[in-house]
Structure 1
Amino acid sequence: MTRVHKHIANHPLGDAPARGQAAAIPFGRPKVVDVNALQAHLASSPGLADDRQALLRQLVDGLDPAQLYWIAAWVANQAAHPTARQGAVAPANATRLTVLYGSQTGNARRVAERFAAEAEASGLPVRLVRAGAYATRELADERYLAVVVSTQGEGEPPDDARGFVEFLASRRAPKLPKLQYTVLGLGDSSYPQFNAMGRALDARLAELGAQRLAPLAEADIDIEPVAAPWSEGALALLRERLAHDAPIASVTPLRVAATRPQFHRDRPFPAPVLANQRIVSRASDRDVRHVELSLEGSGLRYAPGDALGVWHRNPASLVTAFLAALSLDGDAAVTHDGRTQPLREWLTRERELTRLSRPLVQAVAGRADSAGLRAALQSPDALRELFDSHQPIDLLRAHPADWDAAALVAALRPLTPRLYSIASSPRAVGDDEVHLTVAVVGYHAYGEPHLGAASHWIAAADEDATLDVFIEPNERFRLPADGARDVIMIGPGTGVAPFRAFVQERQQAGATGRNWLLFGNRHVADDFLYQVEWQQALKDGALHRLDVAFSRDQAQKRYVQHVLRERGAELYDWLAGGAHIYVCGDAAQMAKDVHSALADIVATHGGKTPEAAQAWLSELLQDGRYARDVY
């Protein structure tokens, strides 16, 4: 296979040498479908007339697996009970538990899936619904609702829950006096608006008259200590409440048995490094890597739009700096959560050393008796500034205090994997290979060098090394099933990674829709990532349009949002004609600026009021035609 690193050797920038509806989860014992046998049976049976087959294909086009399984179950029930077609349909307010989730990176989805499975195993009637697929008209008839929702950025909902959140906050939301509910919020205390969305949904449901079945639970990135007791308590109450209610009409279970891959988040695959090379010029003040990994033997599969999770180790220099700053012995045995190992091992493999969290700030404020830190904890703006400007080591140096090894381990939050948008299509590179585009974080602050722990770990991995990885699916960030659809891709910096995968995929699949890429970075001569590939894609017809913005190549900074406004008329024509639009990259500023530009374009060239333009974009988000992978 010809790898990209063979092409990058001739890169002018390269300095490296050549190298819809909710799915019902049936209760009781699921019936497992032999898919191969089913396909063989369908192939040998008379089937449907051509016109009916065309209608069926039109119906299922673009549906996700859960929606397809729901349709399969409903059809099976119709086949088993033909007379039921003339009977009553189970009412929307039938007694059941609805588990609703809004997830940005997959954590809320995983927790909700497990909670729904535990409820099903308990014999409870339950359905699992992604917030973006929930029919809000059903809310008034719900009786039992469990919401698992994450918070992203500055207290914002996940993109797939935005429509539900907006509906709930609006005057159209119904009164809910018959609803009993519970909310589990997932957040990251390194953000000032920690768990704001979970709190907001919990408060709004109560305001609408619903009764709390179980109190709001708020989990930090160490989810399990909060999620497990919440799940256990909520299920105990649900079993008690639902025991005396009539069950909903049963649907014949028909679904493929879910099997967890051999390698996953909690058991990552040691992927051999095939290539790891710098793809910016020597003159660039940044280091960006193109990394190729082997998945051979892992059984892992991915699709364009998915992310690769990487478990990293903290740099030895940073661990040493912690030990020196606090005068601690790295060989000291520390027992935490029932496990004992040297402090150095805790700091290297299991504790977050480059991201601040609210609990750590609280711990430092208490030990150092810092009035300034206590004041910052009460001010979102001050806390945000602290998080943006300090790593944990900076805080510990600025506020000296007596620390023992056990207290330090308890105060630092657990290490979490980093997620990187996948930069390859398996159709192009093969099922056993995956590519990443990684910006290596490094800077000076407070007189000391600072590193991005994960990016530094990846950059240091040579071709004899392995990286511990897993696949994180991202169903919200998928190419349209209809290859005739046009796609617009906005990806400045390393945000271009998934669009490399998209262009590869569309080319290999023979998609007939047009592809428009908007890319931005600092300097055209230094960091035009994958320049040769984009030029070749234009020549081959795999890319139909490429617009670029290099912010520092002229006196006035120029970003992708400026290009969007300049191309506004054409961009609106594409969108009005059914194009899908994708944004990937920085959530703090770029994604907001791009969204603002899109709203202005829709208002200006679509003849809409600003409010109507925002509503139109929200509708595109809900329909999956506007998708964002921002971080």
Structure 2
Amino acid sequence: MIQNQKMFNILLPLSSEQLNHLKELEMTCSDIQCAWLSGYFWKKANQNSNSSPIEKKKIDEDQLVTIISASQTGNAKLLSHRLHEYLNKNNIKNRLINAINYKFRKIKDERTLILIISTQGEGEVPEEAISLYNFIISKKAPKLNYLSYSIFGLGDTSYNLFCQAAKNFDNRLKELGAISLLDRVDADIEYEDDYDKWSQELLKTISSNYINSKTSLRSLSQKDDLKITNFSYTKNNPALGTILTNQRITGRDSTKEIHHIEIDINNLNINYTPGDALGVWYKNDPNLINQILKLLSINPLEKVSIKNNITTIFDALENSFELTVNTKNIVQSYAHFSKNKFLKNIISDEKKLNKYVTKTPLISMIHDHSSKISSQELISFLRPLTPRLYSIASSQAETHDEIHITVGVVKKIVSGYVCLGGASGYLSGSLKVDDKIKIFIENNDNFRLPADKNIPIIMIGSGTGIAPFRSFMQQRDNDGSKGKNWIFFGNPNFTEDFLYQIEWQEYIKKGLLTKMSLAWSRDQEHKIYIQDKIKENGKEIWSWIKNGAQIYVCGNASKMAKDVEKALLDIIAKYNNMNIEDSTEFLNEMRLNQRYKRDVY
């Protein structure tokens, strides 16, 4: 017994005096206080430990850093890939996944989640993140008390609901109990500095919280790993295509001006797939530039500095800055430089400012309140020019060394000025046959034809939203696909606005196009829209859905796409005897199973 007592005293890391103090303290503490002391001393011991990192517990697989990309125009996808590589190089074990492929019901098992997300339309989440968002805002969303997260939002300050998708995710994750590692970042179109600072802070924070394996995760499935297609040409390294055709395809009396443009890519080694988009770098209209410079009393040959490069103000405005979109920041800055009393009054009231920006293009503001400012002051508040994306309207199996796009011209008349969209004005008016154009491919794996060529498809588009479906039909024709094809198309008038009419009629004659449902909103007293045609054919649409059809929607996100989705939900509820909540769940499952796909803008 005495021998055992001696052994106990040798093993005990406390002296007899310390042990007596500890027992006295224990007698005065409640259960909760004892638990707190236990945690306190454990933390103290770990802080003072001199053990090597190898002796510490490594992060296990369900504690990996998960990076989710939710992209609309490709920027979030590129930044997610950069972050993935950055963490790998710094020995942070992580996986990269596209939001469309994320198994969102397992979010409760995550410990560190990074979301890089853009905003589309009227403050909405990008298409590929809809299922994830619908889940976390639903009653089925789990508590996330063990989740740490960080969000990098990409947006455009010219929109009132700037980075709203990122804000919505941030608020909801906090509601569910998750802890933010860093304050959310809301980045404008010039996001590089914000991204660099955020990614560095994120690395420091993650490194201080976890001890990670030095081996990068390489076991992700091909579906889960976010694929970056290695085109030799990118947004920052565009190809130089040649204009073959630039033709208006709406009638003389149409309310719309829409152009079909064909671009030669011979010898450029460019490959694309139906569903992809074409990125176009445009130049601003010289007439618009001269008007702005004249109103501001600026000599076109004045020199300005852009990121340490010297050029003329004319060249800077032609190639480097956005001139067709006004923003709150621009109005505020111009009011400051011009000292204009009217504009100062506008910027003092948020509601007035929002209304003014919506209705007043940049050229109109400068015309109505012209002032003398320097060329360097002018470019200090202008937004950088960014490329525009257009759904590709051709299949390479059909057109080989050509890319076709369908361009709707944006046009407003304000203060006597005809204001054209920057890119659409350039494409429709400036480019002639044999002109060169800077282009690149924006991959879109979320808008693809079914691999099984026997699967039926339903295509729903309005206006220029018909473009990708032209590429779909060309591809299915060349593949000899046996699956049925049904298109819904809407525009104002049959005689003026039936885009690619002869081609669709030929597909009907060949039997490749099974059915065509057309909605001409202004051909009769009572307006008929595409959603009306969907409801009218509800029973047959449900039959196609039951037979495995995939549904594709392309067009305006804020109006057309919402109305179409509501019509589809009504059909599912009616013919499957569901309430609206269950039909929403049904459509979400179709989206998850890649049977309901949208390319909206």
For normalisation by structure 1, the TM-score amounts to: 0.80
Give 1:402 shift. 4.8
Structure 1 pair 250–560 and aligned structure 2 pair: CA distance change class (3 A): closer
**In the alignment, which residue of structure 1 is the partner of 2:526?**
556
**2 CA distance for matches of 1:259 and 1:499?**
22
Of the candidates 323, 347, 352, which is equivalent to residue 374 of structure 1? 347
**1 CA distance for matches of 2:334 and 2:564?**
38
**In the alignment, which residue of structure 2 is the partner of 1:575?**
545
Residue pair 2:92, 2:213 contacting (<8 A) in 1 also: no
Give 1:318 shift. 0.8
Of the candidates 258, 269, 280, which is equivalent to residue 288 of structure 1? 258
**In the alignment, which residue of structure 1 is the partner of 2:423?**
454
**In the alignment, which residue of structure 2 is the partner of 1:235?**
203
**In the alignment, which residue of structure 1 is the partner of 2:154?**
186
Of the candidates 278, 281, 286, which is equivalent to residue 316 of structure 1? 286
**2 CA distance for matches of 1:140 and 1:114?**
26
Amino acid at match of 2:374: D
**1 CA distance for matches of 2:177 and 2:219?**
35
Structure 1 pair 572–339 and aligned structure 2 pair: CA distance change class (3 A): same
Residue pair 2:59, 2:212 contacting (<8 A) in 1 also: no
Of the candidates 98, 113, 116, which is equivalent to residue 145 of structure 1? 113
**In the alignment, which residue of structure 2 is the partner of 1:266?**
236
Give 1:540 shift. 0.8
**1 CA distance for matches of 2:144 and 2:369?**
49
Structure 1 pair 253–206 and aligned structure 2 pair: CA distance change class (3 A): closer
Secondary structure (helix, strand or coil) at the match of 1:588 reads: coil
Residue pair 1:360, 1:412 contacting (<8 A) in 2 also: yes
Residue pair 1:136, 1:167 contacting (<8 A) in 2 also: yes
Residue pair 2:93, 2:217 contacting (<8 A) in 1 also: no
1:340 paired with 2:310, answer yes
Of the candidates 96, 106, 117, which is equivalent to residue 64 of structure 2? 96
Amino acid at match of 1:373: I
1:437-448 alignment runs, 5 A limit:
437-448=406-417
Of the candidates 552, 556, 559, which is equivalent to residue 586 of structure 1? 556
Secondary structure (helix, strand or coil) at the match of 1:162 reads: helix
Secondary structure (helix, strand or coil) at the match of 2:548 reads: coil
**2 CA distance for matches of 1:523 and 1:251?**
54
Of the candidates 438, 452, 457, which is equivalent to residue 468 of structure 1? 438
**Identity of paired residues, percent?**
37
1:197-596 alignment runs, 5 A limit:
197-242=165-210, 244-245=211-212, 260-367=230-337, 368-369=340-341, 370=343, 372-374=345-347, 378-379=350-351, 385-430=355-400, 432-459=401-428, 460-596=430-566
Amino acid at match of 2:520: F
Residue pair 1:159, 1:628 contacting (<8 A) in 2 also: yes
Structure 1 pair 600–288 and aligned structure 2 pair: CA distance change class (3 A): same
Structure 1 pair 174–614 and aligned structure 2 pair: CA distance change class (3 A): closer
**2 CA distance for matches of 1:601 and 1:311?**
41
Secondary structure (helix, strand or coil) at the match of 1:477 reads: coil
**In the alignment, which residue of structure 1 is the partner of 2:126?**
158
Q: How many residues align?
A: 537
Residue pair 1:147, 1:184 contacting (<8 A) in 2 also: yes
- Is there any run of 5+ residues in structure 1 with no aligned partner, and where? 1-89
404-413 vs 362-371, greater mean Cα deviation = 362-371
Residue pair 1:160, 1:476 contacting (<8 A) in 2 also: yes
1:108 paired with 2:76, answer yes
**2 CA distance for matches of 1:248 and 1:141?**
21
421-430 vs 350-359, greater mean Cα deviation = 350-359
> What is the root-mean-square deviation in Å for CA atoms of aligned residues?
2.4
- Is there any run of 5+ residues in structure 2 with no aligned partner, and where? 1-57
Structure 1 pair 339–423 and aligned structure 2 pair: CA distance change class (3 A): same
Residue pair 2:187, 2:194 contacting (<8 A) in 1 also: yes
Amino acid at match of 1:609: N
Give 1:104 shift. 1.7
Residue pair 1:95, 1:245 contacting (<8 A) in 2 also: no
Structure 1 pair 254–622 and aligned structure 2 pair: CA distance change class (3 A): closer
Residue pair 1:310, 1:468 contacting (<8 A) in 2 also: yes
**2 CA distance for matches of 1:386 and 1:569?**
46
1:607 paired with 2:577, answer yes
Residue pair 2:243, 2:262 contacting (<8 A) in 1 also: yes
**1 CA distance for matches of 2:547 and 2:348?**
52
**2 CA distance for matches of 1:386 and 1:542?**
50
Residue pair 1:477, 1:628 contacting (<8 A) in 2 also: yes
**2 CA distance for matches of 1:588 and 1:397?**
31
Give 1:325 shift. 2.3
